[in-house]
Structure 1
Amino acid sequence: MDYYRITSIEDENFPKLHRLLQDVFPPEEVLAYELWAEPLQDPGIHVCVALHDGEAVGATEYRYYPQLRVAMTDFTIIGRPGLGVGRFLLRSREKELARLAAESGTEPIGMFAEIYDPYRTEHGFGGADPMNPIVRREVLSHIGYKRLELDYVHPSWDLQGGAVSGLDLGFLPKDEELDGISGALAAQFLETYYSAIEAKPAEWYDMVAGLKRQERVALLPL
Protein backbone atom coordinates (compact mmCIF):
# COMPACT_ATOMS: atom_id res chain seq x y z
CA MET A 1 0.00 0.00 0.00
CA ASP A 2 1.28 3.47 -0.90
CA TYR A 3 0.73 6.70 1.01
CA TYR A 4 0.33 9.35 -1.67
CA ARG A 5 -0.13 13.11 -1.27
CA ILE A 6 -2.38 14.94 -3.74
CA THR A 7 -1.52 18.57 -4.52
CA SER A 8 -3.66 19.26 -7.61
CA ILE A 9 -7.12 18.46 -8.93
CA GLU A 10 -5.30 17.55 -12.15
CA ASP A 11 -3.70 14.59 -10.39
CA GLU A 12 -5.13 11.34 -11.76
CA ASN A 13 -5.80 10.18 -8.20
CA PHE A 14 -7.90 13.19 -7.21
CA PRO A 15 -11.14 11.92 -8.86
CA LYS A 16 -10.70 8.69 -6.87
CA LEU A 17 -10.43 10.72 -3.66
CA HIS A 18 -13.43 12.89 -4.46
CA ARG A 19 -15.58 9.85 -5.22
CA LEU A 20 -14.61 8.41 -1.84
CA LEU A 21 -15.65 11.64 -0.15
CA GLN A 22 -18.99 11.67 -1.96
CA ASP A 23 -19.64 8.00 -1.25
CA VAL A 24 -18.91 8.28 2.47
CA PHE A 25 -19.89 11.74 3.71
CA PRO A 26 -23.14 13.74 3.58
CA PRO A 27 -23.28 16.39 0.81
CA GLU A 28 -22.90 19.29 3.27
CA GLU A 29 -19.56 17.85 4.39
CA VAL A 30 -18.01 17.65 0.91
CA LEU A 31 -16.40 20.59 -0.88
CA ALA A 32 -17.29 20.79 -4.58
CA TYR A 33 -14.76 19.24 -6.99
CA GLU A 34 -13.47 22.47 -8.55
CA LEU A 35 -13.22 24.23 -5.18
CA TRP A 36 -10.46 21.83 -4.13
CA ALA A 37 -8.01 23.47 -6.55
CA GLU A 38 -6.78 26.16 -4.13
CA PRO A 39 -6.68 24.12 -0.87
CA LEU A 40 -4.67 21.34 -2.50
CA GLN A 41 -1.96 23.85 -3.41
CA ASP A 42 -1.71 25.08 0.20
CA PRO A 43 1.55 23.67 1.60
CA GLY A 44 -0.01 23.50 5.07
CA ILE A 45 -2.86 21.21 4.01
CA HIS A 46 -1.98 17.54 3.57
CA VAL A 47 -4.43 15.46 1.55
CA CYS A 48 -3.23 11.87 1.19
CA VAL A 49 -4.71 8.69 -0.21
CA ALA A 50 -3.91 5.06 0.50
CA LEU A 51 -3.42 3.37 -2.88
CA HIS A 52 -3.75 -0.39 -3.28
CA ASP A 53 -3.34 -1.82 -6.77
CA GLY A 54 -4.03 1.65 -8.17
CA GLU A 55 -7.29 1.98 -6.26
CA ALA A 56 -7.91 4.59 -3.55
CA VAL A 57 -8.90 2.44 -0.59
CA GLY A 58 -8.62 5.16 2.04
CA ALA A 59 -7.73 8.80 2.55
CA THR A 60 -6.92 11.38 5.19
CA GLU A 61 -6.53 15.15 5.36
CA TYR A 62 -4.72 16.95 8.15
CA ARG A 63 -2.77 20.06 9.03
CA TYR A 64 -0.54 21.36 11.79
CA TYR A 65 -0.73 24.86 13.29
CA PRO A 66 2.68 25.57 14.88
CA GLN A 67 1.50 28.88 16.35
CA LEU A 68 -1.21 27.01 18.28
CA ARG A 69 0.78 23.78 18.70
CA VAL A 70 -2.22 21.72 17.61
CA ALA A 71 -3.05 19.56 14.62
CA MET A 72 -6.39 18.91 12.95
CA THR A 73 -7.56 15.74 11.26
CA ASP A 74 -10.06 16.95 8.67
CA PHE A 75 -11.16 13.46 7.70
CA THR A 76 -10.13 9.83 7.67
CA ILE A 77 -11.76 7.41 5.24
CA ILE A 78 -11.47 3.64 5.33
CA GLY A 79 -12.93 2.54 2.01
CA ARG A 80 -12.10 -1.15 2.09
CA PRO A 81 -12.15 -3.54 5.06
CA GLY A 82 -9.54 -6.23 5.65
CA LEU A 83 -6.54 -4.31 4.35
CA GLY A 84 -5.40 -2.53 7.51
CA VAL A 85 -6.18 0.83 5.92
CA GLY A 86 -7.01 2.56 9.21
CA ARG A 87 -3.75 1.61 10.90
CA PHE A 88 -1.78 2.48 7.76
CA LEU A 89 -3.30 5.95 7.59
CA LEU A 90 -2.88 6.54 11.33
CA ARG A 91 0.81 5.65 11.40
CA SER A 92 1.61 7.50 8.17
CA ARG A 93 -0.14 10.63 9.44
CA GLU A 94 1.59 10.41 12.83
CA LYS A 95 5.01 10.33 11.16
CA GLU A 96 4.21 13.32 8.99
CA LEU A 97 2.80 15.37 11.88
CA ALA A 98 5.87 14.57 13.98
CA ARG A 99 8.05 15.79 11.12
CA LEU A 100 6.04 19.01 10.73
CA ALA A 101 6.26 19.74 14.46
CA ALA A 102 10.01 19.10 14.50
CA GLU A 103 10.54 21.37 11.50
CA SER A 104 8.65 24.18 13.25
CA GLY A 105 10.55 23.65 16.52
CA THR A 106 7.32 23.17 18.48
CA GLU A 107 5.97 20.53 20.85
CA PRO A 108 2.36 19.60 19.98
CA ILE A 109 -0.39 19.83 22.60
CA GLY A 110 -2.73 17.53 20.70
CA MET A 111 -4.99 17.10 17.69
CA PHE A 112 -8.58 18.16 17.01
CA ALA A 113 -11.12 16.13 15.04
CA GLU A 114 -14.84 16.40 14.37
CA ILE A 115 -16.45 13.13 15.46
CA TYR A 116 -19.92 11.99 14.54
CA ASP A 117 -22.27 11.19 17.39
CA PRO A 118 -23.84 7.88 16.27
CA TYR A 119 -26.99 8.62 18.25
CA ARG A 120 -27.58 11.91 16.44
CA THR A 121 -26.87 10.94 12.82
CA GLU A 122 -28.72 8.61 10.49
CA HIS A 123 -26.23 8.90 7.64
CA GLY A 124 -25.12 5.51 6.29
CA PHE A 125 -21.60 6.51 5.17
CA GLY A 126 -21.96 4.78 1.83
CA GLY A 127 -22.47 1.40 3.42
CA ALA A 128 -18.77 1.20 4.32
CA ASP A 129 -18.86 -0.79 7.56
CA PRO A 130 -15.53 0.59 8.93
CA MET A 131 -17.04 4.09 8.62
CA ASN A 132 -20.06 3.25 10.77
CA PRO A 133 -20.17 6.10 13.33
CA ILE A 134 -20.43 3.70 16.28
CA VAL A 135 -17.32 1.83 15.09
CA ARG A 136 -15.39 5.02 14.32
CA ARG A 137 -16.24 6.62 17.66
CA GLU A 138 -15.13 3.56 19.61
CA VAL A 139 -11.88 3.30 17.65
CA LEU A 140 -11.14 7.00 18.24
CA SER A 141 -11.86 6.51 21.94
CA HIS A 142 -9.36 3.65 22.03
CA ILE A 143 -6.77 5.84 20.32
CA GLY A 144 -7.23 8.41 23.08
CA TYR A 145 -9.62 11.01 21.71
CA LYS A 146 -11.87 12.88 24.11
CA ARG A 147 -14.69 15.34 23.41
CA LEU A 148 -14.95 18.96 24.41
CA GLU A 149 -17.85 19.73 26.75
CA LEU A 150 -19.56 21.79 24.09
CA ASP A 151 -22.75 21.90 22.01
CA TYR A 152 -20.88 21.79 18.72
CA VAL A 153 -21.88 23.03 15.27
CA HIS A 154 -19.77 23.87 12.27
CA PRO A 155 -20.38 25.85 9.05
CA SER A 156 -21.56 23.77 6.11
CA TRP A 157 -18.94 22.96 3.48
CA ASP A 158 -21.55 23.53 0.77
CA LEU A 159 -20.81 27.22 1.52
CA GLN A 160 -24.50 28.08 1.93
CA GLY A 161 -24.13 29.32 5.52
CA GLY A 162 -25.96 26.49 7.24
CA ALA A 163 -25.07 24.98 10.60
CA VAL A 164 -24.06 21.30 10.68
CA SER A 165 -24.75 19.46 13.93
CA GLY A 166 -24.66 15.84 15.04
CA LEU A 167 -20.94 15.92 15.76
CA ASP A 168 -18.65 16.49 18.73
CA LEU A 169 -15.43 18.44 18.64
CA GLY A 170 -12.86 15.87 19.71
CA PHE A 171 -9.32 16.35 20.95
CA LEU A 172 -6.47 13.86 21.24
CA PRO A 173 -4.19 15.27 23.99
CA LYS A 174 -0.49 14.57 23.86
CA ASP A 175 -0.70 14.14 27.64
CA GLU A 176 -3.41 11.54 28.13
CA GLU A 177 -4.00 12.79 31.68
CA LEU A 178 -5.07 16.21 30.37
CA ASP A 179 -8.69 16.84 31.34
CA GLY A 180 -9.26 20.24 29.75
CA ILE A 181 -7.99 22.89 27.35
CA SER A 182 -8.40 26.65 27.35
CA GLY A 183 -11.51 28.06 25.73
CA ALA A 184 -9.33 30.67 24.02
CA LEU A 185 -7.29 27.92 22.32
CA ALA A 186 -10.41 26.15 21.07
CA ALA A 187 -11.91 29.42 19.81
CA GLN A 188 -8.71 30.50 18.06
CA PHE A 189 -8.40 27.11 16.42
CA LEU A 190 -11.98 27.20 15.11
CA GLU A 191 -11.62 30.76 13.82
CA THR A 192 -8.40 29.78 12.03
CA TYR A 193 -9.69 26.51 10.66
CA TYR A 194 -12.96 27.94 9.35
CA SER A 195 -11.49 31.19 8.00
CA ALA A 196 -11.85 29.70 4.49
CA ILE A 197 -15.66 29.71 4.79
CA GLU A 198 -17.15 33.20 4.54
CA ALA A 199 -20.80 32.36 5.20
CA LYS A 200 -21.06 31.09 8.77
CA PRO A 201 -24.26 30.58 10.78
CA ALA A 202 -25.18 32.62 13.86
CA GLU A 203 -25.02 29.42 15.95
CA TRP A 204 -21.33 29.06 15.11
CA TYR A 205 -20.51 32.65 16.08
CA ASP A 206 -22.41 32.23 19.36
CA MET A 207 -20.52 29.01 20.12
CA VAL A 208 -17.12 30.60 19.48
CA ALA A 209 -18.03 33.65 21.58
CA GLY A 210 -19.01 31.31 24.42
CA LEU A 211 -15.67 29.52 24.19
CA LYS A 212 -13.81 32.82 24.51
CA ARG A 213 -15.60 33.44 27.80
CA GLN A 214 -14.50 30.08 29.21
CA GLU A 215 -11.17 29.83 30.95
CA ARG A 216 -11.17 26.06 30.54
CA VAL A 217 -13.24 23.56 28.55
CA ALA A 218 -13.46 20.06 29.98
CA LEU A 219 -12.34 17.04 27.96
CA LEU A 220 -14.84 14.22 28.48
CA PRO A 221 -14.78 10.55 27.45
CA LEU A 222 -16.21 9.72 24.03
Structure 2
Amino acid sequence: MEYQRITSIEDPLFAQMHNLMKEIFPPEEVLDFPLWKEPLEDPGIRVFVAVHEGQVVGATEYRYYEDWNVAMTDFTIIGREGLGIGAFLANHRKRDLQALAAANGKELFGMFAEIYNPYLSQDHSFGGIKPMDPYVRREVLSHLGYKRIDFPYVHPSWQGDGEAVGGLDLCFMPGDEELAELPASLVYDFLNRYYAVLPNKPQEWLDMAAKLSERNKVSLLPL
Protein backbone atom coordinates (compact mmCIF):
# COMPACT_ATOMS: atom_id res chain seq x y z
CA MET A 1 0.00 0.00 0.00
CA GLU A 2 1.25 3.47 -0.87
CA TYR A 3 0.67 6.81 0.88
CA GLN A 4 0.39 9.40 -1.90
CA ARG A 5 -0.31 13.11 -1.65
CA ILE A 6 -2.83 14.74 -4.00
CA THR A 7 -2.25 18.37 -4.98
CA SER A 8 -4.44 18.76 -8.09
CA ILE A 9 -7.95 17.91 -9.23
CA GLU A 10 -6.28 16.77 -12.47
CA ASP A 11 -4.67 13.87 -10.62
CA PRO A 12 -6.69 10.76 -11.59
CA LEU A 13 -6.39 9.56 -8.01
CA PHE A 14 -8.43 12.58 -6.93
CA ALA A 15 -11.42 11.52 -9.03
CA GLN A 16 -11.26 8.13 -7.31
CA MET A 17 -11.04 9.78 -3.89
CA HIS A 18 -13.94 12.13 -4.58
CA ASN A 19 -16.13 9.23 -5.73
CA LEU A 20 -15.22 7.39 -2.54
CA MET A 21 -16.18 10.44 -0.48
CA LYS A 22 -19.59 10.58 -2.18
CA GLU A 23 -20.14 6.89 -1.44
CA ILE A 24 -19.18 7.27 2.23
CA PHE A 25 -20.30 10.69 3.46
CA PRO A 26 -23.68 12.46 3.40
CA PRO A 27 -23.96 15.18 0.70
CA GLU A 28 -23.63 18.12 3.13
CA GLU A 29 -20.17 16.86 4.12
CA VAL A 30 -18.73 16.68 0.58
CA LEU A 31 -17.32 19.71 -1.24
CA ASP A 32 -18.19 19.79 -4.95
CA PHE A 33 -15.47 18.48 -7.29
CA PRO A 34 -14.39 21.83 -8.89
CA LEU A 35 -14.29 23.57 -5.51
CA TRP A 36 -11.40 21.31 -4.52
CA LYS A 37 -8.99 23.06 -6.88
CA GLU A 38 -7.76 25.72 -4.46
CA PRO A 39 -7.72 23.54 -1.31
CA LEU A 40 -5.59 20.91 -3.06
CA GLU A 41 -3.13 23.58 -4.21
CA ASP A 42 -2.90 25.08 -0.70
CA PRO A 43 0.41 23.87 0.80
CA GLY A 44 -1.13 23.95 4.27
CA ILE A 45 -3.83 21.42 3.41
CA ARG A 46 -2.51 17.89 3.21
CA VAL A 47 -4.59 15.35 1.29
CA PHE A 48 -3.25 11.81 1.08
CA VAL A 49 -4.69 8.60 -0.30
CA ALA A 50 -3.97 4.96 0.44
CA VAL A 51 -3.42 3.23 -2.90
CA HIS A 52 -3.69 -0.55 -3.13
CA GLU A 53 -3.11 -2.24 -6.48
CA GLY A 54 -3.72 1.05 -8.29
CA GLN A 55 -6.99 1.80 -6.53
CA VAL A 56 -7.75 4.43 -3.88
CA VAL A 57 -8.95 2.43 -0.87
CA GLY A 58 -8.65 5.13 1.77
CA ALA A 59 -7.90 8.80 2.26
CA THR A 60 -7.19 11.43 4.87
CA GLU A 61 -7.05 15.21 4.87
CA TYR A 62 -5.45 17.23 7.62
CA ARG A 63 -3.62 20.47 8.29
CA TYR A 64 -1.08 21.87 10.74
CA TYR A 65 -1.29 25.35 12.26
CA GLU A 66 2.20 26.55 13.15
CA ASP A 67 1.07 29.49 15.28
CA TRP A 68 -1.02 27.28 17.59
CA ASN A 69 1.06 24.09 17.14
CA VAL A 70 -2.13 22.09 16.62
CA ALA A 71 -3.50 20.01 13.77
CA MET A 72 -6.95 19.28 12.42
CA THR A 73 -8.03 16.01 10.87
CA ASP A 74 -10.62 16.97 8.27
CA PHE A 75 -11.60 13.42 7.40
CA THR A 76 -10.45 9.82 7.29
CA ILE A 77 -11.96 7.33 4.86
CA ILE A 78 -11.60 3.57 5.03
CA GLY A 79 -12.96 2.18 1.79
CA ARG A 80 -12.36 -1.52 2.27
CA GLU A 81 -12.20 -3.98 5.13
CA GLY A 82 -9.31 -6.27 5.93
CA LEU A 83 -6.39 -4.22 4.63
CA GLY A 84 -5.41 -2.35 7.80
CA ILE A 85 -6.19 0.97 6.10
CA GLY A 86 -7.12 2.78 9.32
CA ALA A 87 -3.80 2.04 11.02
CA PHE A 88 -1.90 2.74 7.79
CA LEU A 89 -3.43 6.22 7.45
CA ALA A 90 -3.19 7.08 11.16
CA ASN A 91 0.48 6.09 11.41
CA HIS A 92 1.55 7.96 8.29
CA ARG A 93 -0.44 11.04 9.32
CA LYS A 94 1.10 10.99 12.80
CA ARG A 95 4.64 10.77 11.43
CA ASP A 96 3.98 13.58 8.96
CA LEU A 97 2.51 15.87 11.63
CA GLN A 98 5.33 15.11 14.06
CA ALA A 99 7.81 16.11 11.36
CA LEU A 100 5.94 19.35 10.70
CA ALA A 101 5.90 20.19 14.40
CA ALA A 102 9.59 19.33 14.73
CA ALA A 103 10.38 21.67 11.84
CA ASN A 104 8.50 24.30 13.87
CA GLY A 105 10.78 23.55 16.83
CA LYS A 106 8.01 21.93 18.90
CA GLU A 107 6.24 18.73 19.82
CA LEU A 108 2.66 18.63 18.53
CA PHE A 109 0.26 20.01 21.15
CA GLY A 110 -2.70 18.08 19.80
CA MET A 111 -5.21 17.56 17.03
CA PHE A 112 -8.84 18.56 16.51
CA ALA A 113 -11.42 16.37 14.77
CA GLU A 114 -15.16 16.38 14.23
CA ILE A 115 -16.50 13.01 15.27
CA TYR A 116 -19.97 11.70 14.51
CA ASN A 117 -22.07 11.05 17.60
CA PRO A 118 -24.35 8.09 16.76
CA TYR A 119 -26.11 8.57 20.09
CA LEU A 120 -27.44 11.87 18.70
CA SER A 121 -28.07 10.77 15.12
CA GLN A 122 -28.17 7.33 13.50
CA ASP A 123 -28.87 8.54 9.96
CA HIS A 124 -25.48 7.76 8.43
CA SER A 125 -24.82 4.38 6.84
CA PHE A 126 -21.43 5.47 5.41
CA GLY A 127 -21.85 3.47 2.25
CA GLY A 128 -22.27 0.21 4.11
CA ILE A 129 -18.54 0.08 4.94
CA LYS A 130 -18.41 -1.48 8.41
CA PRO A 131 -15.16 0.21 9.57
CA MET A 132 -16.85 3.56 8.84
CA ASP A 133 -19.78 2.77 11.13
CA PRO A 134 -20.03 5.75 13.53
CA TYR A 135 -20.07 3.52 16.62
CA VAL A 136 -16.89 1.78 15.45
CA ARG A 137 -15.21 5.04 14.45
CA ARG A 138 -16.02 6.66 17.77
CA GLU A 139 -14.44 3.82 19.75
CA VAL A 140 -11.38 3.72 17.49
CA LEU A 141 -10.84 7.46 17.89
CA SER A 142 -11.30 7.12 21.63
CA HIS A 143 -8.56 4.47 21.63
CA LEU A 144 -6.32 6.86 19.70
CA GLY A 145 -6.74 9.39 22.50
CA TYR A 146 -9.44 11.76 21.29
CA LYS A 147 -11.60 13.47 23.91
CA ARG A 148 -14.88 15.35 23.50
CA ILE A 149 -14.72 19.12 23.96
CA ASP A 150 -17.53 19.97 26.37
CA PHE A 151 -19.84 22.32 24.48
CA PRO A 152 -22.84 21.85 22.15
CA TYR A 153 -21.50 21.69 18.61
CA VAL A 154 -22.78 22.38 15.10
CA HIS A 155 -20.93 23.30 11.96
CA PRO A 156 -21.83 25.06 8.69
CA SER A 157 -22.76 22.78 5.80
CA TRP A 158 -20.00 22.36 3.24
CA GLN A 159 -22.64 22.84 0.56
CA GLY A 160 -22.46 26.56 1.41
CA ASP A 161 -26.22 26.85 1.88
CA GLY A 162 -26.03 28.35 5.37
CA GLU A 163 -27.52 25.26 7.02
CA ALA A 164 -26.30 23.99 10.38
CA VAL A 165 -25.07 20.41 10.57
CA GLY A 166 -25.45 18.62 13.88
CA GLY A 167 -24.90 15.10 15.13
CA LEU A 168 -21.18 15.61 15.69
CA ASP A 169 -18.84 16.46 18.53
CA LEU A 170 -15.76 18.61 18.22
CA CYS A 171 -12.98 16.59 19.79
CA PHE A 172 -9.30 16.99 20.58
CA MET A 173 -6.46 14.51 20.91
CA PRO A 174 -3.92 16.12 23.25
CA GLY A 175 -0.24 15.28 23.05
CA ASP A 176 -0.34 15.03 26.84
CA GLU A 177 -2.99 12.42 27.63
CA GLU A 178 -3.42 13.92 31.10
CA LEU A 179 -4.62 17.25 29.70
CA ALA A 180 -8.15 17.86 30.98
CA GLU A 181 -9.08 21.24 29.46
CA LEU A 182 -8.32 23.69 26.68
CA PRO A 183 -8.39 27.48 26.53
CA ALA A 184 -11.77 28.39 25.07
CA SER A 185 -10.01 31.07 23.02
CA LEU A 186 -8.00 28.39 21.17
CA VAL A 187 -11.18 26.55 20.18
CA TYR A 188 -12.94 29.79 19.22
CA ASP A 189 -10.03 31.07 17.14
CA PHE A 190 -9.55 27.69 15.47
CA LEU A 191 -13.20 27.40 14.44
CA ASN A 192 -13.27 30.94 13.06
CA ARG A 193 -10.20 30.33 10.93
CA TYR A 194 -11.24 26.84 9.86
CA TYR A 195 -14.68 27.94 8.67
CA ALA A 196 -13.62 31.31 7.24
CA VAL A 197 -13.92 29.70 3.80
CA LEU A 198 -17.69 29.41 4.36
CA PRO A 199 -18.99 33.00 4.68
CA ASN A 200 -22.65 31.93 4.92
CA LYS A 201 -22.75 30.87 8.57
CA PRO A 202 -25.99 29.57 10.12
CA GLN A 203 -27.33 31.44 13.13
CA GLU A 204 -26.89 28.31 15.26
CA TRP A 205 -23.16 28.41 14.54
CA LEU A 206 -22.90 32.13 15.31
CA ASP A 207 -24.72 31.62 18.63
CA MET A 208 -22.44 28.69 19.49
CA ALA A 209 -19.32 30.75 18.74
CA ALA A 210 -20.60 33.70 20.77
CA LYS A 211 -21.17 31.52 23.83
CA LEU A 212 -17.74 29.94 23.40
CA SER A 213 -16.11 33.39 23.28
CA GLU A 214 -17.50 34.13 26.74
CA ARG A 215 -15.77 31.14 28.36
CA ASN A 216 -12.25 30.87 29.70
CA LYS A 217 -11.79 27.08 29.55
CA VAL A 218 -13.52 24.08 28.02
CA SER A 219 -13.23 20.60 29.50
CA LEU A 220 -12.03 17.53 27.65
CA LEU A 221 -14.34 14.61 28.39
CA PRO A 222 -14.14 10.91 27.51
CA LEU A 223 -15.72 9.71 24.28
Note whether the superposition's TM-score is higher than 0.5. yes
Partner of 2:17: 17
Structure 1 partner of 2:213 = 212
2:73 alignment partner in structure 1: 73
Q: Which moved more, 1:103-112 or 1:135-144?
A: 103-112
* Letter of the 1:22 counterpart: K
Matches within 5 A, 1:24-63: 24-63=24-63
Relative to the length of structure 2, the TM-score reads 0.98
Q: Is the 8 A contact 1:144 1:173 kept in 2?
A: yes
> Which ranges in structure 2 are unaligned for 5 or more consecutive residues?
none
CA distance in 2, matches of 1:80, 1:174: 29
Task: Say whether the 8 Å CA contact 1:183–1:217 is kept in structure 2.
Answer: yes
Aligned pairs for 1:190-209 within 5 A: 190-209=191-210
| Large movers: runs of 4+ above 3 Å | none
SS at match of 1:13: helix
TM-score (norm 1): 0.98
Partners of 2:107 and 2:215 in 1: CA distance = 24
Paired with 1:47 and 1:162, the residues of 2 have a C-alpha distance of 26
Query: 1:72 deviation in Å?
Result: 0.1
1:97 is aligned to: 97
Note the C-alpha offset of 1:107: 3.0
The residue aligned with 1:3 is 3
Hey, what's the Cα distance between the residues in 1 that align with 2:196 and 2:176? 28
2:162–2:202 Cα contact (<8 Å) kept: yes
- 1:107 and 1:95 map into 2 onto residues whose CA distance is 12
Separation in structure 1 between the aligned mates of residue 175 and residue 204 of structure 2, nearest angstrom? 30
Matches within 5 A, 1:30-179: 30-121=30-121, 122-179=123-180
Worse-matched range after superposition: 131-140 or 103-112: 103-112
% identical aligned pairs: 59
Match of residue 187 from structure 1: 188
Residues 98, 107 of structure 2: 8 Å contact kept: no
RMSD between aligned alpha carbons? Answer: 0.7
Equivalent pair of 1:66/1:106 in contact (CA under 8 Å): no
